[in-house]
Amino acid sequence: MAKQAKTAIKSKDAKAAAEAKNWTKVIRAVRSAKTGAYTFKEAIVHKDKVKQFLAQK
């Protein structure tokens, strides 16, 4: 029964799964002016806007 439920979920939302491939997780290292240590900013952005996210200060 578990296999049937698993395949039903995949076939039900095929369009949403195809849309999900257009999004990317981006991680950017940001240096602290106060301590000099690096912190990381994470965001999930559309694949067309990755360069804009990385260009931000």
pLDDT per residue as tens digits for the range 2-54: 565 555 555 667 787 788 889 999 999 999 999 999 999 999 999 999 999 99
Q: Considering the domain boundaries, does residue 53 fall inside one?
A: yes
Q: Considering the domain boundaries, does residue 27 fall inside one?
A: yes
Number of domains in the chain: 1
pLDDT of residue 35: 94
pLDDT of residue 6: 57
pLDDT of residue 29: 94
User: Cα(55)–Cα(51) distance, rounded to whole angstroms?
Assistant: 6
Q: Which residue has the tokens 């991680």?
A: 27
Domain that holds residue 32: 20-57
Taking CA atoms, 4 is separated from 8, 20, 45, 53, in Å, by 6, 23, 33, 40
pLDDT of residue 8: 53
pLDDT of residue 56: 86
Q: Considering the domain boundaries, does residue 47 fall inside one?
A: yes
pLDDT of residue 20: 85
